[in-house]
Amino acid sequence: MVFPALAPLPVSRTASALAFFSFSRTFAQTWGVTIGSTILQNRLDKTLPAQFGTQFPSGVQIAYAAIPVIDNLEDPLRSEVRDAFAKSLRVVWLAMIVMSGAGLLSVGLMREVPMQKTTDGTYGLDVISHPPLPDAEKHGGAGVSESAATQRTEPEVSEQ
């Protein structure tokens, strides 16, 4: 399977392009988590009741430290904290919807590319010519195993 963004590349470049695509995807996921947690933390700092925020030392990620404490709070404070979390998560969702919408709009910039009809068994690796291995049957099986004879077979490029 080749992703649409990689389709214009020659088949011999697919392996390295897919590796870069995977790196870019992981890098973007890291930024997505970072942006989402930053938005959540900043919104919680603004919306949590002051008496609840004083329970945690300065510099603590309230979004993670507060969750186990919420069930043990008295009712009016518990409702305010849950409301603050709900409002903060709403902002995170809206920010992620905007980012997803930008990604969806970028799909319109992609051009149609015909499907590749060839495969490349070398996967972009240079094929090195090796001298032929001695035939084990002709030499009475001396010194050459069957597995060694099959190790240096060169991949084929075929039409599909």
Domain ranges for the chain: 4-120
1 — pLDDT class (breaks 50, 70, 90)? very low
What is the value of pTM for the model shown?
Answer: 0.62
Own/partner long-range contacts of 122-125 (Cβ < 8 Å, ≥24 apart):
122/12, 122/155, 122/157, 123/12, 123/14, 123/15, 123/155, 124/12, 124/13, 124/14, 124/15, 124/16, 125/15
| Tens digit of each residue's pLDDT (9 = 90 or more) over 137-158 | 666 655 555 555 455 455 555 5
Higher-pLDDT residue of 105 and 160 is 105
Q: What is the pLDDT of residue 128?
A: 64
Average pLDDT taken over every residue of the chain: 78
Let me know the angle formed at the C-alpha of 93 by 99 and 62, rounded to the nearest 5 degrees: 120
Q: What is the pLDDT of residue 136?
A: 64
